[in-house]
Amino acid sequence: MNETPRRRLLDRMAASPTLIAAHTVVRGELDADGPLMVNGHFHGNARVRGEVAIGTDARWEGNIEAVNAVVAGEVVGDIVASDKLEVGASARIRGRVSARRVAIARGAMIEGEIICTGTEPVVRFEERRSVLA
C-alpha cells in the first residue's frame, strides 16, 4: 500500500506526540523517546529521540537535542538536530543551530551560528502553509 508522500517534516510527526499545551509553563530537564510538540513555555534542556516542534506562540529557553526539529516560535538556546532542522517564517532563534539538513523560511530570524553538517546547502524557502498555529 502506497503512502502519500509528505512534503514537510511536520507532516511526518506521529499522530500523538507528547504535548506541552498553550498557557502551560514547564521547568526542568526533558528526555523523550518520541515526538514532542510545544505550544507553551519550556525552561530547560531537552533530549528528544524523535521530532520536536516548537509552535508559533511557544517559547523555549534552553538547549534542544533531537533527531528532527521544526521551529515556528521563539528559542533562546542551541538546537542540535542529527538529521533535519526546519525554521518557519515566524521563528526567532537566539543561539547556535546545527543539523545535517537545514531549511529556513524567508522572514525567520536566527541570531547565532548556523552549522550544516551534511553535504547539502542550507535551503531558503517561501512559507506558503500555516505552521504550528
Specify the pTM. Answer: 0.85
Q: Which residue has the higher pLDDT, 14 or 128?
A: 128
Q: Which residue has the higher pLDDT, 118 or 7?
A: 118
- Alpha-carbon separation of residue 73 from 33, 61, 70, 113 (angstroms): 22, 11, 9, 18
Q: Where are the domains of the chain?
A: 17-117
Predicted pLDDT of residue 61: 98
Are 21 and 40 in contact by the 8 Å Cβ rule? The answer is yes
In sequence order, what E strands does the chain have? Answer: 18-20, 25-27, 30-32, 36-38, 41-43, 46-54, 59-61, 64-71, 74-76, 79-87, 92-94, 97-105, 109-111, 114-116, 123-125
CB atoms within 10 A of CB 80: 17
Secondary structure class of 11 (helix, strand, coil): helix
Banded model confidence at residue 5, pLDDT cuts 50, 70, 90: very low
Biggest alpha carbon–alpha carbon distance for the chain: 44
Are 69 and 79 in contact by the 8 Å Cβ rule? The answer is yes
Q: Which residue has the higher pLDDT, 56 or 13?
A: 56
Banded model confidence at residue 129, pLDDT cuts 50, 70, 90: low
d(CA 26, CA 118): 33
Mean pLDDT value across residues 98-123: 95
Encode pLDDT of 60-98 as tens digits.
999 999 999 999 999 999 999 999 999 999 999 999 999
